[in-house]
A and B are shown apart, each in its own frame.
Chain A
């Protein structure tokens, strides 16, 4: 295993810290540690170490990354270039409005774009990730009902939801009721009707759903909730499917969060940072976190005068540098370009689905949105989704999302995104079909996969059984 600690040898690190010769600041020794244990490695070795590590990684720039529900599209380099401006990188967040007009303008204009794209009224850019946006949105629901004095303690979540939905709801002290899905992938509207009562504060729904399908009863669901006085939360994780094509407000949602690192092309950084802005309808605007970005005359300012707000949810104003990238992306594409994104993403997904249909089991055979779900049914006994996904790695692609959504057993969720060409999709389909053949003709190729990766099959059971979480 490559690790920096193995390269340690006392005296190798020649990094120079400037000195303050002849000045003694006199900090009492009792405050100073004598146990700092850091590896001693030379600069050129450090470079080689991390370059080597980078070669053991796989990014969107390497090849197609069809990780369903994650929208791994191309991350434009122009975004990177301009997000690295010194005026953005070095600006202290407490510099005050006067020195931050450029940053505030950018946030203000981006808020306006997101307002228009979602069709909502209020916007906060502060949430640092999608799940942070969810938490913020659920807090808004809580605050709304506290404010109206209406005691409601339950939120409905479909069985197909991402795990973040129930986790966010639980953090706000709400109870959860589960809405079941029909075999066709819609919410079972009759069962839903039976669980909507006076305790239901709201419902969270991903649109389109985690099976890649647009719920055909969406407006009916919205009506049922609104008639009951409940709020409708739209999880925008799959916004790439409807970007510029249909607005969440028009679908009947009252609140939504947007995963900027999915829909708006900002890179995911191997785990983050992302950004998860939230937009809301007019009656909920006053509950959004402080501060908001506002404008008076031609001056932008951070607005703390929001007495009904849920409060602060981030140390400062959110993941600014990520939002810069989203701002550039929207400016690059413009309204027509955004619509082209969703149309192409949906066309790519449907085309790839058609290429694989017949070869792979497609549990729900409907026209899909930006992604679709297959599974391992029809593969020989003993070969599962797990083996298929590892074999895909051998062919130089990232694996799709596997074993999610939970409502389809052993699911394989494929999201090609709009930034793949027809040729790439066809090549990927060929590989998938070849893997199916291999499963019958030479199952060892799957059972022992992956073989062409920097490390072989990693034992996750051992990792969990005896956790070793730091180098010793």
Chain B
């Protein structure tokens, strides 16, 4: 897998064309933004989740958060539909976590999948590598 700065890809995850990742474990999953996304944004200074997200049923493509760097801003979209179980409030307090550990400590939400088939249409790590190269 790619290891170049800003192009790190974790095998076994699913990806979207808008640079979110999804890590599925049974009927729940974690999601976040890719190394490519954090690197394109630059130093991330602010993360804000969409209001009242916890416990909500959301649809694939809903905005779950907004991420800001000093020079750019981007919405983060949910790669799948489901019930939001947890928000990672750590990234609101220390947004730089997204730069240092996008696939680990820098996750956004934990979600219970309501349509497991949905993730099939996401990109696998090889497809995603092609997309960003």
Q: Does B130 reach chain A (CB closer than 8 Å)?
A: no
Sort chain B's interface into a size bin.
under 10
The answer to whether the Cβ of A464 comes within 8 Å of any Cβ in the partner chain is yes
Question: In the bound complex, how far is the Cα of B95 from the Cα of A463, in angstroms?
Answer: 14
Determine the distance from Cα of A465 to Cα of B69 in the docked complex, in whole angstroms: 9
A:444-472 near B, CB below 8 Å:
460-461, 463-465
Main secondary structure of the interface of B (DSSP, over half): loop
Question: Do the beta carbons of A465 and B45 come within 8 Å of each other?
Answer: yes
**Contact between chains at B46 and A465 (CB < 8 Å):** yes
* Chain A positions within 8 Å of B45 at CB level: 461, 464-465
- CB atoms of B71 and A463 under 8 A apart: no
Tell me the smallest distance from the CB of B115 to a CB of chain A, in Å. Answer: 27
* CB within 8 Å of B: which A393-421 residues: 403
Cβ of A406 to closest chain B Cβ, rounded Å: 10
Q: In the complex, how many residue pairs between chain A and chain B have their CB atoms under 8 Å apart?
A: 19
Q: How far is the CA of A206 from the CA of B55 in the complex (A)?
A: 45
* Neighbouring A residues of B83 by C-beta, 8 Å: none
CB of B43 closer than 8 Å to a CB of A: yes
B70 located at the interface, meaning its Cβ lies under 8 Å from any Cβ of chain A in the complex: yes
B37-52 interface with A by 8 A CB criterion: 42-43, 45-46
Tell which of A403, A460, A465 has the most Cβ of chain B within 10 Å: A465
Report the bound CA distance from A460 to B46 in whole Å: 13
Q: How far is the CA of A465 from the CA of B45 in the complex (A)?
A: 5
Which residues does chain A contribute within 8 Å of B69, judged by CB atoms?
461, 464
Q: How far is the CA of A464 from the CA of B43 in the complex (A)?
A: 10
What B residues does A403 contact at CB under 8 A? 71
The reply to whether the CB of B92 lies closer than 8 angstroms to some CB of chain A is no
- With a cutoff of 8 Å between Cβ atoms, the chain B residues found around residue A465 in the complex are 43, 45-46, 70, 95
With an 8 A cutoff between CB atoms, is B68 at the interface? yes
Instruction: Map CB proximity to A onto B105-131 as digits: 1 under 8 Å, 0 otherwise.
Output: 000000000000000000000000000
Q: How far is the CB of A292 from the nearest CB of chain B, in Å?
A: 39
Question: Which residue of chain B lies nearest to A460 when distances are taken between CB atoms in the complex?
Answer: B70
A109 to B97, alpha carbons, bound, how many Å?
59
A117–B68 Cα gap in the complex (Å)?
42
Give min CB distance, A310 to chain B, whole Å. 31
In angstroms, how far is the closest chain B Cβ from the Cβ of A464?
4
Nearest-neighbour CB distance to chain B for A278, whole angstroms, equals 29
Interface digits, B26-45 against A, CB 8 Å rule (1 contact, 0 not)? 00000000000000001101
In chain B between 64 and 110, which residues have their CB closer than 8 angstroms to a CB of chain A?
68-71, 95
Query: What are the residues of chain B within 8 A of A461 when measuring CB–CB?
Result: 42-43, 45, 69-70
Give the distance to chain B from A116, nearest Cβ to Cβ, in Å: 41
Question: Chain B residue with minimal CB distance to A463?
Answer: B70
Q: How far is the CA of A461 from the CA of B43 in the complex (A)?
A: 7
B71 to chain A: which residues have CB within 8 Å?
403, 460
Q: How far is the CA of A465 from the CA of B94 in the complex (A)?
A: 10
A324 to chain B, nearest CB (A): 37
Q: How far is the CB of B104 from chain A (nearest CB, A)?
A: 21
Q: How far is the CB of B69 from chain A (nearest CB, A)?
A: 8
Q: What is the CA–CA distance of A465 and B70 in the complex, to the nearest angstrom?
A: 8
Query: How far, in whole Å, are A463 and B68 apart by their CA atoms in the complex?
Result: 13
Q: Which 6 residue pairs across A and B have the least CB separation, nearest first?
A: A464-B45, A465-B45, A461-B43, A464-B70, A460-B70, A461-B70
Interface residues of B (CB under 8 A from A): 42-43, 45-46, 68-71, 95
19 A-B pairs with CB atoms under 8 Å apart are A403-B71, A460-B70, A460-B71, A461-B42, A461-B43, A461-B45, A461-B69, A461-B70, A463-B70, A464-B45, A464-B46, A464-B68, A464-B69, A464-B70, A465-B43, A465-B45, A465-B46, A465-B70, A465-B95
In the complex, besides A463-B70, A464-B45, A464-B68, 14 extra interface pairs with C-beta distance below 8 angstroms are: A403-B71, A460-B70, A460-B71, A461-B42, A461-B43, A461-B45, A461-B69, A464-B46, A464-B69, A464-B70, A465-B43, A465-B45, A465-B46, A465-B70
